[in-house]
């Protein structure tokens, strides 16, 4: 068992012998937890799903524009065995998450909002809904779960949990599914936690390759591997401000999704009136210069002239669209769970959101070219531009992320930006590989022992291990399941 496990883990993590020992110990600990949770029984499978760091392309995925993340060597691991009935029984190694037991019966009724078990239920519900497993014949599984992805930090711990749950449920039912199709299905599973997330996190967790970033296009899902230059490293720094997707961040995130939907309707109407073209877009990417056969500049001009650059009230949007406010609310402001997003007190910032999304999409394309040319400075500069756009037009930054970005640049990062949904969580920093140790040391002194200690009244997350808040990302391979021989 020991040798098999080490070999498998070396293939996945591609790391030094010392690091491998740490990974092996972690899996061994989970195997021991399995044996004590289910006495006398052996696990038959192991599943692992990685978190991710997004290098560039923020809030573009749900608009149909590309992203460029990489999977990281922090992940969610399930050790499990199928059961003879349809019960799913999961024990989390972290005592803060209570054991969860439910039946794989359609529909799977969610726990209360915020319950960690909903991420497991989300995967099971979607797979049953898709008809990939017949609910009448579904087999459950019993599992222990462990994870090393910092939570509520913008590194996709929850999506990794959804992906791992799906792979466990499929393996328990001996069902093989193409990873692209699974990624598309699981992107929709986010409805379970009430967020309108795009498809980036699930796609990279499933489709990543070791040592590479992934440019991902959506609708339909397509991926292109990007080789990462050896002289540039990506360092994650956690701001220590929690950004939980299922709680406070939900309204702010969903608001932006709706603002983009409103932008899509308004841009389509404006372009249609000016150009006479009959268009029926589903999302902003359907209105790109390339799709419409127009210069991007021309579209931007039509847009700014027709509905202006200031925030709009629902009433004004309705007037532009020639509909009633109620109709617009019903058609465009309804979330996947059926609830309606209330109008923000400062209005819908349609123009700013539009400008961010379109410019960010162009930055992703430029980053592909910069990576291909091995131009680290150009990559870093695009990351810096992305940061400014996320801060000013998309407004997903916060004072702590801003402090972190500026301290990083002062201490040697060529490029620095918040990663993931924002509103807290982490930054990703492009640092010359030969300066990484020095960068981590000076960031530790300046941010974690300096800024955080001074700003005592802010709600920073407590941490015990610095390696979990500032670390270099190693691009790992995507999620997978393999047989476990727990009976060694």
**Is 146 or 420 the residue whose CB approaches ligand GLA more closely?**
420
**Is 105 or 336 the residue whose CB approaches ligand GLA more closely?**
336
| Nearest-angstrom CA–CA distance, 11 and 5 | 10
SS3 content of the chain, % helix, strand, coil (to 5): 45, 20, 35
Task: Return the number of other C-beta atoms located less than 10 Å from residue 281's C-beta.
Answer: 17
Strand (E) or helix (H) holding 304: helix 296-307
Closest CA to 234 of 476, 410, 451, 406: 476
Closest CA to 143 of 160, 113, 167: 167
Residues lying near ligand GLA in the complex (CB under 6 A): 54, 58-59, 61-62, 197-198, 200-201, 420-421
| Nearest-angstrom CA–CA distance, 292 and 269 | 13
Partnered with residue 142 across adjacent β-strands are 81, 89
| Alpha helix positions (H), 373-398 | 376-392
Closest CA to 269 of 305, 296, 310: 305
Biggest alpha carbon distance in the chain? 72
| Nearest-angstrom CA–CA distance, 328 and 263 | 12
Count how many residues are written for the chain.
488
Closest CA to 132 of 167, 103, 158, 162: 167
From the candidates 61, 89, 201, 393, give the one annotated as an active-site residue: 201
Burial of 99 (0-12, 13-18, 19+ CB in 10 A): exposed
Q: Which two tokens stand for residue 145?
A: 């779960």
| 58 neighbors 390 (Cβ within 8 angstroms) | yes
Q: Which two tokens stand for residue 248?
A: 């406070």
| Nearest-angstrom CA–CA distance, 86 and 138 | 6
What is each CA distance from 420 to 184, 270, 383, 434, 484, in whole angstroms? 19, 31, 13, 26, 33
User: Who's near 357: CB < 8 A, 6+ residues apart?
Assistant: 59, 60, 63, 65, 260, 263, 284
Q: How far is the CB of 471 from ligand GLA (least distance, A)?
A: 19
Q: Is 92 helix (H, G, I), strand (E, B) or coil?
A: strand
| Alpha helix positions (H), 46-111 | none
The span from the first CA to the last CA of the chain, in angstroms, equals 5
Q: Is 178 a catalytic residue?
A: no
What is each CA distance from 425 to 394, 404, 454, in whole angstroms? 16, 11, 19
Q: How far is the CB of 200 from ligand GLA (least distance, A)?
A: 4
- Residue 233 Cα to chain centre, angstroms: 20
**Is 151 or 201 the residue whose CB approaches ligand GLA more closely?**
201
Q: Which two tokens stand for residue 7?
A: 């070999």
**Is 66 or 197 the residue whose CB approaches ligand GLA more closely?**
197
What residues are annotated to the active site?
A: 201
């Amino acid at each position: 068992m020991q040798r098999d496990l080490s070999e498998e883990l070396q293939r996945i993590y591609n790391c030094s012998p010392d690091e491998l020992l740490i990974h092996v110990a972690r899996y061994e600990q989970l195997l021991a937890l399995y044996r004590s949770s289910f006495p006398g029984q052996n696990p038959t499978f192991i599943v692992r799903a990685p978190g991710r760091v997004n290098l560039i392309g923020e809030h573009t995925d749900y608009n149909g524009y590309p992203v460029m993340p990489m999977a990281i060597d922090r992940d969610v691991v399930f050790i499990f065995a199928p059961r003879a009935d349809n019960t799913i029984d999961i024990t989390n190694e972290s005592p803060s998450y209570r054991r969860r037991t439910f039946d794989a019966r359609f529909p799977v009724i969610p726990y209360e909002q915020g319950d960690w078990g909903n991420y497991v239920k989300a995967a099971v519900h979607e797979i049953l809904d898709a008809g990939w497993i017949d609910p009448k014949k579904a087999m459950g599984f019993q599992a222990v779960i462990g994870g090393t992805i910092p939570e509520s930090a913008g590194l996709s711990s929850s999506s990794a949990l959804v992906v791992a749950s799906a792979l466990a449920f499929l393996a328990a039912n001996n069902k093989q599914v193409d990873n692209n199709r699974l990624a598309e299905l699981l992107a929709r599973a986010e409805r379970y936690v009430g967020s309108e997330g795009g498809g980036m996190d699930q796609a990279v967790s499933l489709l990543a390759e070791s040592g590479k970033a992934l440019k991902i296009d959506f609708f339909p899902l397509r991926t292109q591997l990007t080789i990462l230059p050896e002289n540039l490293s990506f360092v994650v720094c956690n701001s220590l401000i929690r950004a939980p997707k299922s709680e406070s961040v939900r309204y702010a995130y969903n608001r932006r999704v709706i603002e983009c939907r409103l932008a899509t309707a308004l841009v389509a109407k404006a372009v249609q009136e000016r150009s006479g073209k009959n268009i029926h877009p589903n999302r902003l990417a359907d209105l790109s210069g390339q799709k419409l056969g127009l210069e991007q500049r021309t579209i931007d001009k039509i847009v700014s002239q027709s509905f202006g650059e200031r925030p709009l009230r629902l009433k004004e949007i309705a007037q532009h669209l020639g509909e009633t406010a109620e109709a617009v609310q019903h058609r465009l402001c309804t979330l996947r769970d059926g609830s309606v997003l209330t109008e923000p007190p400062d209005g819908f910032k349609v123009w700013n959101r539009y400008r961010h999304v379109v410019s960010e999409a162009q930055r992703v394309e430029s980053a592909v070219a910069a990576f291909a040319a091995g131009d680290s400075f150009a990559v870093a500069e695009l990351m810096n531009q992305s940061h400014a756009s996320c801060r000013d037009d998309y407004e997903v930054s916060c004072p702590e992320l801003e402090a972190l970005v500026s301290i990083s640049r002062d201490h040697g990062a060529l490029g620095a930006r918040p990663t993931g949904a924002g509103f807290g969580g982490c930054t990703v920093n492009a640092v010359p590989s030969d300066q990484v140790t020095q960068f981590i040391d000076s960031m530790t002194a300046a941010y974690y022992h300096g800024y955080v200690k001074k700003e005592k009244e802010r709600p920073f997350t407590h941490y015990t291990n610095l390696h979990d808040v500032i670390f270099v990302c190693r691009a790992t391979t995507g999620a997978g399941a393999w047989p476990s021989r727990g009976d060694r």
